Amino acid sequence: MKKIVIIGAGAMGSAFSVPCADNKHDVYLVGSFLEDDLVDEINKLDNFHPVLKCQLPKKLNVIRFSEFNDQIYKDIDLLVVGVSSKGIDWISDEISKIYSEKTDILLLTKGLTIINNQFQTLAEKLKQSLNKHKINNPKISAVGGPCLANGLANRINSSVILANENLDIVKNIGKMISTEYYSTEYSDDLIGVEVCAATKNIYSILIGASEGLSSKSQSSEIKKKYYLNTAASLAYKAVSEMEKLVKKLNGKSQTAYGLAGLGDLYVSSAGGRNSKMGFHLGQGLLFKDAKEKYMKEVTIEGADLAFAIGSKILEEFDLNEFPLLLSVVESICKNKKLEINW
């Protein structure tokens, strides 16, 4: 039995606790400092998660961050980061207080950032933050692949890919968390997996817009019936761009065609928050109007990423090489109507 601590009691962090607990590990689900009310509600409902709307394992320990004491963080085998990308700086400081050499870190959080005018993955950002606290060579891995939180929480068959330059590290993590319904594959392309996991959120917005983008002349009724031609075309073009982007950022291009790229893009564009935003943009709404009217309190990961890295993309990327990426980023960052040059 291993000790697994998951920080972040939102949808994915909580869902991830299910296979960990099913493998009979000692599992703690720790809310971030912003999630006290959520943690209290989960405990009040006897481990029923109000967002996922399903029962979490009875033996799962769900606690506030203020209750995360030295008895709990002593001898952690796997520390799972499930906070939002905006919380990476905060969690870096907290991890520095409890990290030990035996602890593996697994990032559920997806995103990219810009440091010193260079693109940087969240694993690299976390590593540099820990280095500042004199923690050298932390064992940081990332997970990617087609795995929606609600499906995992309900034990729907899912496959993910765990990435670390040292395959032995992720194979060890896989032994801890794999179940008959949660299958793990492994990659040494940490950069590629993270780039795909992040940017698929932007491309999911685009594919979600495919109904509205399918024709300039046909009626809404016709487009609703036959837009799949457009959706499939955009999916193919999106994966092709992801391949170029992974290579540009020093990952392995073939990663775009695996679970982290094509697989995750499929499930994310088939449903979810990014594709829902895309639907509204495809109908001709501007991003700010769609957000205010339909998704005011909803986090749109693709939009957050566009705002985080969009200025550099718009300044430096070639329209002929990345037409889809530039179209979506411009639509969001400049609040312009989404248009695709076919």
Looking at mean pLDDT, say which of 23-27, 132-136, 224-228 comes out highest: 23-27
Angle at 222 (CA atoms; ends 217, 224), nearest 5 degrees:
115
Do 170 and 302 lie in one domain? The reply is no
- Mean per-residue pLDDT over the chain, rounded: 94
- Is there a domain that residue 339 lies in? no
- Average pLDDT of span 33-59: 96
161 occurs within a structural domain: yes
User: Which pTM was predicted?
Assistant: 0.94
Q: Is 113 in a helix, a strand, or coil?
A: strand
Alpha helices in 180-263 (DSSP H): 190-208, 210-213, 220-226, 228-248
Sheet-wide strand order for 158-163: 61-63, 26-30, 3-7, 78-81, 104-107, 139-144, 158-163, 182-187
How is residue 221 written in tokens? Answer: 């009724």
Residue 251 has pLDDT above 90, yes or no: yes
What amino acid is encoded at 183 in this protein? S
Boundaries of domain holding 250: 192-333
Percent of the chain with pLDDT over 90: 84
CATH number at residue 66: 3.40.50.720
Q: Does 271 lie in the same domain as 143?
A: no
Place 231 in a pLDDT band, splitting at 50, 70 and 90.
Answer: very high
Which percentage of the chain shows pLDDT scores above 70?
Answer: 100
Has residue 287 got a pLDDT over 70? yes
b/e per residue 48-58 (b: at least 16 CB within 10 A): ebebbebebbe
pLDDT, mean of residues 153-165:
98
* Domain limit, last residue, from 152, 172, 188: 188
pLDDT confidence of residue 342: 66
pLDDT above 80 (res 73): no
125 domain-assigned = yes
Q: What mean pLDDT do residues 301-309 have?
A: 95
Q: Is the pLDDT of residue 334 over 80?
A: yes
Q: What is the pLDDT of residue 72?
A: 79
- Quick one: pLDDT at residue 99? 87
